[in-house]
Amino acid sequence: MDRKKIFARIVPVITFVILLAFTIFVSNLFYRSLIWRVEQGIKNNVANIVQLIDDRVVSHIDTLYSVRGVFVASDKVSRKEWKDYIKSIELANRHPGVSSFTFIERVSLADKGSFVSEVRQDTSVNPEGYPDFKITPEIEKAE
């Protein structure tokens, strides 16, 4: 075979191999770029979610500090004061996932009778009072 024929057969093969290698190289670059962009997107989404959760937790903690302030500022928080306070902090708007926010007073066994009587007669929130109020469960435990 003469040189021209060998050259004519080798050049297309070499060109094909070079172009194939270039195509693989470029596609690998695009693939790595795509993977990097997807990873960055995931990292950004995770960071945003973590920030949202952190903000929500801080908001709940701030509300608890606020509640503590109500009890520190008053010797005895009445039902009306509690209801007015909960309404003033717009709990339903600021914490839509919270369905209720209650305060349960600790009552000693010695004070149980007077406490029940006081609650039944309390008309500060409900004009009818709470005539059926009772402490549940009805067990008597030592302090």
Q: Rounded to an integer, what distance in angstroms lies between the CA atom of residue 4 and that of residue 10?
A: 10
Does the structure show a pLDDT above 90 at 101? no
Arithmetic mean of pLDDT, 74-86: 87
Does the structure show a pLDDT above 90 at 120? yes
Query: Which of the pair, 96 or 20, is modelled with greater confidence?
Result: 20
Query: Cβ neighbours of residue 4 under 8 Å, at least 6 residues apart?
Result: none
Q: So what's the pLDDT on residue 16?
A: 96
Q: So what's the pLDDT on residue 1?
A: 63
Most confident by average pLDDT, 19-33, 69-83, 111-125: 19-33
The single residue listed with the structure tokens 């770029």 is: 33
Residue 95 · residue 63 · CB < 8 Å: yes
Query: Which of the pair, 66 or 92, is modelled with greater confidence?
Result: 66
Q: So what's the pLDDT on residue 52?
A: 95
Arithmetic mean of pLDDT, 128-135: 90
Q: Which tens digit of pLDDT belongs to each residue from 7-54?
A: 888 999 999 999 999 999 999 999 999 999 999 999 999 999 999 999
